[in-house]
Every structure is written in structure tokens, then in C-alpha cells.
Structure 1
Amino acid sequence: MTTTLAPATTAELDMIGADGPTAVVITITPELAQQLLKRNTRNRKLRERAVSDYARDITAGNWSLNGEALKLSANGDVLDGQHRLHAVIEAGVPVDMFVVIGLDPAAQETMDSGRKRSTADVLALRSEENATTLAAVLRRVWAWQNGDHRFKGRQSPTTAECAALLEAHPELRRSAEIANRVRSSFPHIPQSVLGTCHHLFNAIDADECAWFFQRVADGAELPLGHPVLALRTRVTSERLDSVRLSEDRFMAYLIRTWNAVREGRELTRLMHKPGTEIPMPK
């Protein structure tokens, strides 16, 4: 069994590593984090977004003791873990962390050299099908739910937040599957947008949503003036002209098309001026 220590000050922490490099589990309180950050004298530029992501996970209780360690030099300097320390302060909640104390300061040059595990990597480890598309859809649905309809906000969901969203909405797996299926037949709209819109439209009318995405995929038996035909024509034309469209523009196209279908309106030409408000699906 691992013993968790709870030093109140950096002086007490120094005593733990007095006899050389030592690895222990320590409860890092906001107060201890503040003291440690006074020793954060030689580190990378702080990334506020990373701090915010970590703090949300801590606040939500999604912070786990996963073996990644806060690393301190023999003289007490913080070599690795400044973002986690700032997140503890921002969340105002103590968390248990592995702490390695007493390292050679030169060891900092070899830290964080591995590639970060992405949400798609984690989903694949969980044997989720369509892991890459599912991760992309989860991130965008999370953004949409948080008011970022252009997917350009400063915040993006953590892996834990994506997992929580999937648990709350398991039907997103079906949206990712449909996105891949449509993309394979009609490769002019990104899977991330297709899956996000499928999730939004399915919540409004599941039967009409199924018909809508089948027609986006195959364009079968669509008369002149049908909104889906206008959508397919528009994105195909822009793709052939090598126009690079942003995801929010694709979202606007799909939502405008869906709304026209729902209202029974003809749509001969699909338009959306860049920078204008994204419509809401009805």
C-alpha cells in the first residue's frame, strides 16, 4: 500500500528528499502549490489553456493518480509540473500526486520528450470503434454545448470531459459511425461536422435525420430546388475550386439545409457569409 504524505511547507518537503532521489505520493494543497511555484525559476512559458483544462478536471473529480510525477531538483526547484500546480491553485482543491524529489537539475532537459496521448488514443485503448472520428465529434459537441458554435474558443475539452460526454450521450457513437459512412460516399464534408450535425439533428427528429443524411450521402431522387441538392452542389463546387472552408462554414451549410428541409422550402442556392452568425437547427 502506498502511503500518502501531507507536508504543509516546502521545508517539510525538502526533508523527505534529503537522502537522495525519492518518489512519494503527496497531497498537494493550494497553499503548498503556491510555495512550490516560488521555486519555479527555470521552466517553460505557462500555457493558460492547459492550466484551465487541468483545473476543470480537478474540480469535476476527474483527476486521477496516474503515475505522472511532479519533479523537483535536489535544491527544491520545480523541474516539471508547473501547470498542475497552477491548476491546483485555480481549482482550490487539494490533490494527491506522485512527487519525485532530489533530481539532478540537468535532468529537466530530457523531460516531456514523449508524445501526449490524445483523446482518440484513449478511445482506441478502450476499443471504441471509429475512435478518431468519435474523438473529433465529442470535442465539437462539447464546444457547441458550451456556446462555442464556431469551434474557435480558447477552451477545448479534456479527455476526461470527452469521456463524461460520451457516457451521458452514448448515441454519439452512432453519430460518428454515420459521419464515416456519409464521408465515404460523399467526401466533401468533414466527418467532425457530419457527426456533430447528426447528433444535433437526431435530437430534433430521428426519422427525418436518418433520411437527411442518407440523401446527403447519395443524392438520390432529389428534384431541382431541393435543399440537399443545393448543399451537395455547393460543397462539391467549392471543393473542385480548391476553396478551403472552415468547419463553422460547413456547419452553417448543413444547418441551413436541414432547416429548409424541415420547413419544406426550396433552396436553389446555398449561401453563408463568412463571419455571420451560425444558425440554430430547428
Structure 2
Amino acid sequence: MSTAMLARSAKAAQHETCHIVTLTPDLARKWLERNTHNRKPRPGRVEQYARDMTAGRWEFNGDAIRFDHNGVMLDGQHRCHAVVKSGVTIRVLVVDNLTPEAQNTMDRPGVREMRDQLGLAGEYNTGMLAAILRRLVAYTAGSRSIDGGRVNPTQGEMREFLDTYPQVREAVVVSVKAQKYLSCAPSVVGTAYYICAECDRAAADQFFVTQLIEGIGLTATSPARALAKRLNDLGSTRGRVNGDDALRYIFVAWNAYRAGRGLTRLQAPKGGWTAANFPNPR
């Protein structure tokens, strides 16, 4: 950096300030009036932040809301919208008097993902665990889609789920076993295993591990046999089965297994899957 550039940088730094502010919904509304040079807000992200704030999961982490020397908001619009939406007051770090050009270096790639957070917490198979947690939080929130449905879980929601239901880790073991044998995302199998184990753990171990994955004790009409064939047939034509479809087929086969009813084939209902014909596990 040249001497002139160093001098300009030092001069600018004299005017930059940072402080912690109690951000109320009313103050957030006033700040959003200064949000005149920014990308369009993402409603999904606002909804995520607002859910965490409402549930008390929002943590002060030092990420700043930033303004330039003209008072224009450069960063922080999603947090402000979420405070307004949730009605919750939070503490935030505020940096003022930045140059407008500073916005060009914000929101660069490299966000710490859920798998990274789990790794820092000492978890194993963190990618699989994160995928199962994401699917389970969406499912338990009432979404009948675990592949990009209306519920997009936050990291706080996933951490809370794992803390409340540590047996999710057992589903990871099943997923790892399944990934060599079935043509669907192994995290879908782990998700289904967890949900079905809540109904009957011993039956879930027998159906998923012994029969579906290991192929032991199958007959011509075993639901697990029909399920494996359906998933692998679809996988041979589509590459990998859609996660939502796989979950539905798994639940149909599981319900047949639990009822002691034989199956020789599996297929979607006429007209396709709907909320009305979703096969809830029993």
C-alpha cells in the first residue's frame, strides 16, 4: 500500500465508530428508512431470523449492522426486518462512518455452515447429521416436504433439536449403512428411521437395518423388499430418487410392515402425492 493510501486509510479510521445498541422494533423501522442502497431483502431469511428471535435462540455474536458516512445502511437489513416482524428487542454492534465502497467487500462466500458448527462441537459425520437435522426440523414443523419445502430451518432450530433429541445421532449410523445400498439420499433413510423409531424402536431396527439395508429375512412379499426394489428402480432411471418421494414410499412400506401386510410392489397414488394421501407412519 502506498504512503498516500496509508494516510487516507488512517484518516478514515479516525472517524469510524462502533458501539453496542439496544435495537427495538421502532428503532429498526427508522434504520430501515436508511436502507436505500442494498439488495432486495430475502423473505425466507427474515422469517428464519424472526423465528429464532421469537424463540429466544438469537445470540449476540458481534456481527455488526453497518452504516456509511452518509448514514446509509450497508449491512443489517435482514436483522432489522426480523426485529420488526418478531417484535423482539435485541442487542447489536453498530459500525458507523464507513465508506460507501466498503459494501463491496461484505457478504463474501465462506459462511460457517451447520456441518462446520457441529464439527466444532465435536460431532461426527457432521454432513450427514446436519442433513438429517434439517429434514427432521422441517418435518416436525408440519412441512410435508423435506426437500426444499416451506420450512427452511435455522441453525439454532437444528441445534435445539439435537439437544432435545440426542437420539438423532443413532439415525446417522443407519444413514451411513444405507448409503451403499439404496438409490436415495441416505439422510432421507436416517430421517425416516428416526421418525419410525419414535413409533417402535425395535421394529424400526428390524425393518430398516436388518431387512431394508442388510436384506436379511426377506420373503417375496416383504415390504422392505418391495421398498428396496422401488427405490433402486427409480434410481436407475432418475439417478437419485427425490427425497420427498422416497420418504413417502418408505412410510407406505413401514405401515405395511407394522400391519403385517405383504407387498410385492410400491407405486404413487393415482394423481400423485398430496397432503390428503400423505402416508403418516404408524
Q: Does the alignment reach a TM-score above 0.5? A: yes
Aligned residue in 1 for 2:95: 100
Give me the whole-angstrom Cα distance separating, in 2, the residues matched to 1:24 and 1:114. 26
Does structure 2 retain, via aligned residues, the 8 Å contact 1:28–1:96? yes
Aligned residue in 1 for 2:195: 200
Select 2:110's aligned residue among 94, 99, 115.
115
Deviation at 1:187, TM superposition (A): 3.5
Letter in 2 for 1:33: A
Give me the whole-angstrom Cα distance separating, in 2, the residues matched to 1:102 and 1:37. 17
- Deviation by residue 1:12-35 (Cα, 9 ceiling, x = unmatched): xxxxxxx61011111111111111
Does structure 2 retain, via aligned residues, the 8 Å contact 1:248–1:278? no
- Deviation by residue 1:120-168 (Cα, 9 ceiling, x = unmatched): 1111111111211111111111111111112243331110110111111
Give me the whole-angstrom Cα distance separating, in 2, the residues matched to 1:243 and 1:101. 51
- Cα RMSD, aligned residues only: 1.7
Give me the whole-angstrom Cα distance separating, in 1, the residues matched to 2:177 and 2:40. 42
- 1:188 correspondence with 2:183: yes
Aligned residue in 1 for 2:175: 179
Letter in 2 for 1:278: F
Letter in 2 for 1:281: P
Give me the whole-angstrom Cα distance separating, in 2, the residues matched to 1:153 and 1:187. 23
Give me the whole-angstrom Cα distance separating, in 1, the residues matched to 2:244 and 2:96. 47
Deviation at 1:271, TM superposition (A): 1.1
Aligned residue in 1 for 2:281: 281
Give me the whole-angstrom Cα distance separating, in 2, the residues matched to 1:248 and 1:38. 41
- Deviation by residue 1:2-21 (Cα, 9 ceiling, x = unmatched): xxxxxxxxxxxxxxxxx610
The secondary structure found in structure 2 opposite 1:241 is helix
- Deviation by residue 1:48-81 (Cα, 9 ceiling, x = unmatched): 1101111111111111121210000111110000
Give me the whole-angstrom Cα distance separating, in 2, the residues matched to 1:103 and 1:245. 49
Deviation at 1:244, TM superposition (A): 4.6
Give 1:62-211 correspondences, 5 Å limit: 62-151=57-146, 152-184=148-180, 186-211=181-206
1:33 and 1:109, CA in 2 relative to 1: closer, same or farther beyond 3 A?
same
Aligned residue in 1 for 2:229: 233
Question: What stretches of structure 2 of length at least 5 have no aligned partner?
Answer: 1-13
Aligned residue in 2 for 1:249: 245
Give me the whole-angstrom Cα distance separating, in 1, the residues matched to 2:62 and 2:53. 16
Identity %: 38
Deviation at 1:181, TM superposition (A): 1.6
Aligned residues: 265
Decide which moves more: 245-254 or 186-195: 186-195
Scaled by the length of structure 2, the TM-score of the pair is 0.90
Letter in 2 for 1:275: W
Give me the whole-angstrom Cα distance separating, in 1, the residues matched to 2:238 and 2:194. 28
Give me the whole-angstrom Cα distance separating, in 1, the residues matched to 2:244 and 2:104. 40
Scaled by the length of structure 1, the TM-score of the pair is 0.90
Give me the whole-angstrom Cα distance separating, in 2, the residues matched to 1:63 and 1:155. 18
Give me the whole-angstrom Cα distance separating, in 2, the residues matched to 1:238 and 1:164. 35
Give me the whole-angstrom Cα distance separating, in 2, the residues matched to 1:61 and 1:223. 51
Give me the whole-angstrom Cα distance separating, in 2, the residues matched to 1:102 and 1:33. 18
Letter in 1 for 2:265: R
The secondary structure found in structure 2 opposite 1:203 is helix
Aligned residue in 2 for 1:42: 37
Give me the whole-angstrom Cα distance separating, in 2, the residues matched to 1:178 and 1:153. 24
Deviation at 1:243, TM superposition (A): 5.2
Does structure 2 retain, via aligned residues, the 8 Å contact 1:137–1:193? yes
Letter in 2 for 1:138: L
Letter in 2 for 1:124: G
Does structure 2 retain, via aligned residues, the 8 Å contact 1:193–1:251? yes
Letter in 1 for 2:273: G
Deviation at 1:220, TM superposition (A): 2.1
Give me the whole-angstrom Cα distance separating, in 1, the residues matched to 2:63 and 2:247. 38
The secondary structure found in structure 1 opposite 2:95 is strand
